[in-house]
Structure 1
Amino acid sequence: MTKIIQISDPHIVPHGQLAYDRVDTAPPLAECVETINRMLPRIGLVDMAIVTGDLTDFGSAEEYQRFRDLMAPLEVPYRVIPGNHDNIDVMRTSFGDQTWMPRSGPINWVQEFSNLALIGLDSSVAGQSHGHLSTQTLAFLKESLDGMALKTVLVAMHHPPFLTGKHKMDTQNLRDSSDLGEILSAYRGELRLICGHVHRNIVSLFGNVVCQIAPGTSHAVTMDLRPDAPNCLTREPGAFLLHETRNGLISHNIPIGQFDGPWLFYPDRG
């Protein structure tokens, strides 16, 4: 049984600043790390964590160093992929000591476990909010899947390829996604696409593939489905996802923090 934790959209800013002048994003990421570490004895061995983009708010070296400092206590190995708020050149330098970080080109990588493979893809477009997968990235994905021998696969990228009903965010989703859909739909094993960007737990089909968006660690895109709704954030409780292989892939939404309990439903019955 393989377990993968998905953290998304921490948006770390420099010391003394707030994301969008509203949110202190560092304490929620630190609390996320603490929550994971505290829960490990109950959820079992986690093979890897992935952060699905927007590690930082402005893509500066200071922000990436602060992100790494906040993640350092995590008792699980982790990898990252970029989002639209990231700078892949600065990210590459900031993670230059990691063997999985590509030395050039898109930040794509693959990690195989005994019964699952995790593929990280770079959907970022320099200077833009929307996502796009380059020809090089699509070729990397196809070649990786061709070598999987029907193993269960999680494909991770920042931008979701489907419409969520949040118009302002949907204009910034993945564009030119037909080639991606063909590659994913052609895979004969179990495959799930996991994303970030919208800061909410949302599940939909993309072709014949289940696609799941992860919540953010510190704030959410406001739940407002009116066509003319402005792009707003709400300081809802953060969460992360736990994906695991049992009889197929299942995913758990785990809120960040410490809560009252656990209490037996019927303590007098043992």
Structure 2
Amino acid sequence: MPGFIQITDTHIVAPGALAYGRSDTAEALHRAVATINAKLPVLDGIDCVIVTGDLTDHGTPEEYAHFAAIMAELELPWQAVPGNHDRRDAMRAAFAPAPWMPEDGPIHWVRDFGPFSVIGLDTLLEGAHHGELSLEGVGFLDAALAAIGAQPVVIASHHPWMHSGIPAMDADNLHGGGALMSRLEAHPAPARMISGHVHRAVTGQIGRVTCQISPATCHAVLTDHRVGHDPQLTIEPGGITVFRWSTAPQPGLLSDIIPTGSFSGPWPFADRPAEWEPRPLQNRDQQI
């Protein structure tokens, strides 16, 4: 069945540089691309990769060229929406030949996967960390939802509207997202919103809309629920999120977060070591 892979917050900098002096974002993206390529033979029906913003750290032509060079290793087509670290004109210039890139204006697009569609929404407000959906964006959304009718829909944006519980990040989420959510609430089929920005995996429900924030390929934001503390980065394993349409037990979209990198295994469970075998308890009172 059809599906896609979401990557987000790649934060590519100039070749040889580290983001924030600590994070090797290029190596992290190489690792994510290698993980995707290695997993493709065992993933059913994956059509493309969707990048939900912050492709680069400063939005420079050099950074976009570096991003493109790494993504050239990917064995799938990809498309993207910008994040607050991107710059719309530089991103458009870098990827102008791509069929999903509009000639001007915000970088919105729609991709039809058959059982469902994905609407990519540009929430970049240049010069600000938070996001906004412009009146033009609302108009694009209305037209796209009308065109897909009663088909299930996924909204792909950089900024989430759902709060993550990390106050410093929630202050810079999608401002004015109520207009978006009211339209998804009124949509006649299931709706989901997928985002990045927070550098953590967070899932919640707003009304009847599932909201999902995916982990970054590179560094993470420290989970810190205290008010008044600036966000801090940690170097944790990066992740990609696989979305696949399933028909059983009923039609719907499933997601699976896969850590990037190489890990031991796989091994058949039948070959488990002897020490894994269950041993009888000597006394029933010892059972937990």
Smaller-chain TM-score bracket? over 0.9
Matched, 1:54 2:54: yes
Q: Report the alpha carbon displacement of residue 224 of structure 1 after superposing the two structures with TM.
A: 1.3
Give the Cα–Cα distance (whole angstroms) in 2 for the partners of residues 41 and 15 of structure 1.
31
Cα pair 2:45 2:244 within 8 Å, conserved: no
Superposition map of 1:90-239 within 5 A: 90-239=90-239
Does the CA contact (< 8 Å) of 2:201 and 2:215 recur in 1? Answer: yes
- Alpha-carbon distance, 1:76 to partner: 0.9
Deviation at 1:22, TM superposition (A): 1.0
| Residue 208 of structure 1: how far off its partner (Å) | 1.9
RMSD: 1.1
Between 224-233 and 86-95, the greater mean CA deviation after superposition: 224-233
TM-score, length-normalised on structure 1?
Answer: 0.97
**Shift in Å, 1:91:** 0.4
User: SS at the partner of 1:128?
Assistant: coil
- What does the per-residue CA deviation read over 1:205-254, in whole Å, with 9 as the maximum and x for residues that have no partner? 12320010010001110011122332100000000100111031110000
Aligned partner of 1:69 in structure 2 is 69
Instruction: State the match for 1:252 in structure 2.
Output: 256
Counterpart of 2:270?
266
Q: Which letter maps to 1:96? A: A
Q: Which runs of 5+ in 1 are unaligned?
A: none
Instruction: Work out the number of aligned pairs and report it.
Output: 268
AA of the residue aligned to 2:217:
T
Q: Which residue identity is paired with 1:254?
A: I
Compute the displacement of 1:114 (Å): 1.7
The residue number in structure 1 matching 2:14 is 14
Q: Quick check: 2:10–2:25 contact (8 Å CA) kept in 1?
A: yes
Identity over aligned pairs, percent = 45
Determine if contact 2:84/2:125 at 8 Å carries over to the other structure: yes
SS at match of 1:249: strand
Unaligned runs of 5+ in 2: 273-288
What's the counterpart of residue 78 of structure 2? 78
Cα distance in 1 for residues equivalent to 2:207 and 2:158: 18
AA in 1 matched with 2:128:
Q
Residue type matched to 1:263 in 2?
Answer: W
Q: Residue type matched to 2:82 in 1?
A: P
Is the 1:9–1:197 Cα contact (8 Å) retained in structure 2?
A: yes
Q: CA offsets, 1:178-205, max 9 Å, x none?
A: 1111111111112110000001110011
Please list the CA deviations of residues 153-184 of structure 1 after superposition, one character each: whole Å capped at 9, or x if unmatched: 11100001021111111110000111111111
Alignment partner, residue 39 of structure 1? 39
**AA partner of residue 39 (structure 2):** M
CA distance in 2 between counterparts of 1:44 and 1:205 reads: 27
Cα distance in structure 2, aligned partners of 1:85 and 1:153: 26
Q: Is the 8 A contact 2:2 2:44 kept in 1?
A: no
Distance 1:150 1:2 in 2: 18
Query: Which one-letter code corresponds to 1:183 in the other structure?
Result: R
Give yes or no for contact 1:2–1:116 (8 Å, CA) kept in 2. no
CA distance in 1, matches of 2:45, 2:28: 23
Indicate the SS of the match to 2:180: helix
DSSP-derived class of the 1:180 partner: helix
Q: Distance in 2 between matches of 1:15 and 1:164?
A: 32
Task: Report Cα offsets for 1:18-47 as digits up to 9, x if no partner.
Answer: 111111100110111011001111113311
Secondary structure at 1:119's aligned position in 2? strand
Amino acid at match of 1:250: L
Q: Which structure has the larger Rg?
A: 2
Provide, for residues 100-136 of structure 1, a one-character-per-residue CA deviation record: whole Å limited to 9, x for no partner: 1011111000011221211100001011000000011
Alignment-mate amino acid for residue 232 of structure 2: C
